[in-house]
Amino acid sequence: MRFVYQKRRKLQRVYSPRSAVGVSLTELLIASLFIGLTTALIGELVVTTTLASVKCNNQSSLLGSAKVSTERLVSDIEMARSIGDYYGLSNGTSEPIDFPNPSNPLYGTTGFLSGFPGAPVLDQPFHLGSQCLILQQPIIYWAKENHPMEPTFDPNAQSSPLNGFPVRIRANAYSSGAPPVAVENLDTVIYQVVPDSRPGEFLLQVLRIPGYSDPSVNTHYEGAIYPAATVASGIIGPKPIDNPSGVPQVFRYLTRTASGIRELSTAELADDNNIKYVVGVAIDLEFKKSTISSSATDANSQNIGIHNEAFIKGNRLKLVNND
């Protein structure tokens, strides 16, 4: 008989170490804090970049607006025959710094000609000063067949030899004795600084009041600019030192003396005899452009100041005789 003996094995409990899969609560808090800080830094970078871009765009926009408005002003001043109402200067009457002057053959006594909305404009005489610039420009002969804005324009027409010469108003052109003698035919261009709807800001507006359109003269006439057109907005200065809440003083008037160019004082400008010696205009403009709001305390607003000087060119040219 065969016996088989088997060794009894002693059973033992085996303990395995904990698995490393997953994170602890401390690790999760540290990771969350790191992600939050990183997100905040990226957000700050995005906001800073956006504000910098907006400021650069506003600065560029301001420079462009200032350039366009001052170039237009300079161009009109250089083309002017006179500053103030020339008819008052030429006739030796008083108040040539007001438009219309009583000696003005078109608007001095009779108002604007038929077809032009004169009543709203003539409610007040325009007064030459730091907020109002009065220019008078000669009407230049430009034959209708040579002018692209005329219905009779012909690109193949021969250029008139009179093109480019100033014209004048014939004696008795529009009524007996009016004007009594031939006078220069001038358009009047008026720039005014007026309050804007935005508190503390002003507009620069322009009017063109046309000269006499003589139907017997075959030339193109520029039309009126009325109501006034806005040339620039967002103007905040320069303000008077003694009145910081007043209207900006944009225009200063220059005269030529033996010692050079100098500025006329307010008292000198009020003297009629000094107007004929004005040869140029100094232009000072301060602009503001807000990024978010129109508040004066807007930290993101951009301001810019600009100065320019323009002088009347030699416009005492030979006149076309319409007699």
Give the model confidence (pLDDT) of 148-185 as tens digits: 999 999 999 999 999 988 888 888 887 777 778 888 88
Q: Residue 203 above 70 pLDDT?
A: yes
pLDDT of residue 189: 93
Q: Residue 295 above 60 pLDDT?
A: no
Distance CA 159, CA 148 (A): 12
- Over residues 26-63, the pLDDT tens digits come to 888 888 898 989 998 998 888 888 777 777 776 777 77
Q: Which residues pair with 311 in a beta bridge?
A: 280
CA dihedral angle for residue 208, residue 72, residue 311, residue 187, rounded to 10 degrees = -20
- Over residues 235-266, the pLDDT tens digits come to 998 988 888 888 999 999 998 877 888 888 87
Measured CA distances, 225 to 112, 207, 244 (Å):
14, 5, 32
Residue 227, token pair as written in the block: 């109501």
Q: Residue 196 above 70 pLDDT?
A: yes
Give the number of C-alpha atoms closer than 13 A to the C-alpha of residue 220, restricted to the C-beta side: 16
Omega of the bond prior to 179 within 30 degrees of 0, cis? Answer: yes
Distance CA 236, CA 63 (A): 15
Residue 29 CB coordination number (10 Å): 11
pLDDT of residue 318: 41
- Mean per-residue pLDDT, 270-275: 78
- Annotate 151-202 with DSSP letters as a single string: TT--TTSPPPTTTT-BBEEPTTSSBTTBSSS-EE-EEEEEEEEEE-SSTT-E
Residue 298, token pair as written in the block: 């807007």
**183-184 and 260-263 strand pairing:** unpaired
Distance CA 264, CA 254 (A): 6
Distance CA 101, CA 96 (A): 6
Residues 6 or more apart whose CB falls under 8 angstroms from that of 293 comprise none
Residue 18 host element (H or E)? none
Distance CA 77, CA 280 (A): 8
- Mean per-residue pLDDT, 292-312: 71
Residue 150, token pair as written in the block: 């005329």
Q: Residue 226 above 50 pLDDT?
A: yes
**251-257 and 225-237 strand pairing:** unpaired
pLDDT of residue 319: 44
**56 φψ region: left (φ > 0), alpha (ψ -120 to 50), beta (else):** alpha
Residue 201, token pair as written in the block: 């800001």
Omega of the bond prior to 195 within 30 degrees of 0, cis? Answer: no
Measured CA distances, 181 to 175, 176, 317, 323 (Å):
12, 11, 18, 10
Q: Residue 133 above 60 pLDDT?
A: yes
Distance CA 135, CA 79 (A): 9
- Over residues 83-130, the pLDDT tens digits come to 888 877 665 555 678 888 877 777 776 554 444 444 444 446 788 999
Distance CA 116, CA 204 (A): 22
Measured CA distances, 87 to 82, 83, 170, 210 (Å):
10, 11, 15, 14
Q: Residue 320 above 80 pLDDT?
A: no
